[in-house]
Structure 1
Amino acid sequence: MTDIKIIRVFPATEYGGNPAPIVIAADELDNEQMRKIAEVTGHESGFVQKPSEVSPADWQMRYFVPNHEMEMCGHATIGALWALRDAGLIAGENQLIETKSGLVRAIVPKSGAIAISQPLGVVRKLSRKAGEDIASVLNLPHDYFHNAVCMNAKTSRTKTLIPIKSVEELHQLKPNFEHIRSVCNQMESTGLYPFAVGKERGHFHARQFPSNSGYPEDAATGIAASALAFGLLDLNYVEDTEGVVIHQGEAMNFPSRIDISFEQQDGKVVSCWLKGECIVERSMSRVAGHV
């Protein structure tokens, strides 16, 4: 049997957060079994395995969406660490995780929010033509971004950051989902991440429309949020000494909150930390070969 825990990660309310199916003993599962769990549950799923022999990591983590494997998933990583802690398997506060995108550091206290690291973001501004293509797929006016900057930003994966004029307009977006994948391919991006400035200093609201995950929208996306934090830093919307709060999932009625801080060495930003709480929703058991 395969024990699957459904954990809602980054909840802003008792009903919020992004559900992550987690298997903390996944060494015997093959790729298709893990993908099938993601397909059946309909969510990006996290799987904990032993680290490879040459890795200094405490854990290896794998991530699958219904359509394929992902290199890294922020909310599933925090959800998996939460499940490991609940099972009494975390030996110390500082943990190291092996992923296909590289090593991820984690801070896992005895209780409360868990934090994971993301590398220094790389930001690239997009052309006006790209802005027109993005406007078209989001069903916005052709010239919506002529006085604004859309950009690609990457920590573990590349996301396209899209400034929207207000939080209300952000929540009213009705994308043409059939064309998102082709637009993302043009941008060399794994998802569209429109955002708007919130009322409080350092608070921003966002939505994530993934390129090819098998579902149309995410309630909380740690990797996209970390990319946005570096985009906001590049645009001078925030200072590197400030914390950033990303609100997501509101349009889906799964309000989420992702807290981000920048890590500095010798006065320069070198990485960032994603931090959030979890709610254990339920457990389910399925026969591994018949998920």
Structure 2
Amino acid sequence: MSNVSLIRVFVRDGRGGNPVPLVVDAQGMGAAAMQAVAAEYGHESAFVLRSSIGCDWRIRFFVPQHEMEMCGHATVGTLWALRQWGHWTTPTARIETLSGVVHARWDDTLQRAWISQPAVRTQALDAQASAPVAAQLRLPTGAWTMTNAATSRVKTLVALPSVAMLDALQPDFATMETLCESIGSTGLYPYAIGASQADGRRIVHARQFPKSSGYPEDAATGIAAAALWGYLAGEGCLGNSPDASIAVWQGDAMGSPSEILVAPRFDEHGAADGCWLSGETAWGAP
């Protein structure tokens, strides 16, 4: 077994977060060996390799069931670890992933990495597609706003009226993969808009039920949070400020509280260019 370091990403107040088994030098490891690491630990795992396209690193991501194109929390955590080990010393970096090139910047003030995600793509679910999702989540009969949204993998956003309803969800996990396949999604991401923090950043509470990752719920899902921010910003739910950012609180129902920060990203001409994603990282298992 390769040398695996354990980190926790998107921790909140020193607790929780999403674990990442990390192999910092995976050169020579095959896909089967990488997937075996993910299966042993039961979490999204990251493997750092040399880039073949001129980026600073290439990162591969595996869950127990398969390889993923992109994993937000594993990228943020890997970059933080590379910084701690002295492997990353520049202000910015470029990461090769199966989802494309990810841009990163180091935040000296917060001592964390921010990574880029592209502009969100969205498609509203009609009543026919929404009905089985509502049944899957065991929601009461009614009209629910559901949207397939993606900055990399498609997640199905489900707007709920309260955090209490969100926390009380008990989905039908046995048929989650079939349901997600039927709507072209890799997971359900129900959410409820909460209060604002002291700095004015809006808190949005969320849960993630993946299609087929090998576990029923995810404590923190960076790319889903990025897609959620893009959708909410596009719908005008975050006000008119171009600097509007959110803190996504996830994992509470699992006893693993997480906080994912999402902020707008602009290109050199000041035009909107997707978002930045970040959060706190710590060493060790939960």
- Category of TM-score, reference length = shorter chain: over 0.9
Q: Secondary structure at the match of 1:162?
A: strand
Q: Name which of 252, 261, 264 aligns with 2:263.
A: 261
What does residue 114 of structure 2 align with? 115
Q: Is the 8 A contact 2:107 2:114 kept in 1?
A: no
Q: Name which of 272, 278, 281 aligns with 2:284.
A: 281
What does residue 55 of structure 2 align with? 57
Q: Is the 8 A contact 1:123 1:234 kept in 2?
A: no
Matches within 5 A, 1:1-291: 2-52=2-52, 55-109=53-107, 112-143=111-142, 146=143, 148-200=144-196, 202-239=202-239, 240-265=242-267, 266=269, 268-281=271-284
Which residues of structure 2 form unaligned runs of 5+? none
What does residue 288 of structure 1 align with? none
Q: Is the 8 A contact 2:194 2:203 kept in 1?
A: yes
In the alignment, the residues of structure 1 paired with residue 129 and residue 202 of structure 2 have an alpha-carbon distance, to the nearest angstrom, of 27
TM-score, length basis structure 2 = 0.93
TM-fit CA distance, 1:268: 4.0
Task: String of CA shifts for 1:202-236, please: whole Å, max 9, x gaps.
Answer: 21000000001000111100000000001111322
Task: String of CA shifts for 1:50-106, please: whole Å, max 9, x gaps.
Answer: 001xx1200000000000000000000011112211221113120100000000001
Which residues of structure 1 form unaligned runs of 5+? 283-291
TM-fit CA distance, 1:270: 1.6
Task: String of CA shifts for 1:152-202, please: whole Å, max 9, x gaps.
Answer: 111011110001110011011000001111111111111100000102262
In the alignment, the residues of structure 1 paired with residue 26 and residue 270 of structure 2 have an alpha-carbon distance, to the nearest angstrom, of 41
TM-score, length basis structure 1 = 0.92
Q: Which amino acid aligns with 1:90?
A: W
Q: 1:196 to 1:222 in 2, by over 3 A?
A: same
Q: Is the 8 A contact 1:66 1:214 kept in 2?
A: yes
Structure 1 vs Structure 2 CA RMSD: 1.4
Q: Which amino acid aligns with 1:258?
A: I
TM-fit CA distance, 1:109: 4.3
**Higher mean displacement: 43-52 or 256-265:** 256-265
Q: Percent identity, please.
A: 43
**Higher mean displacement: 76-85 or 170-179:** 76-85
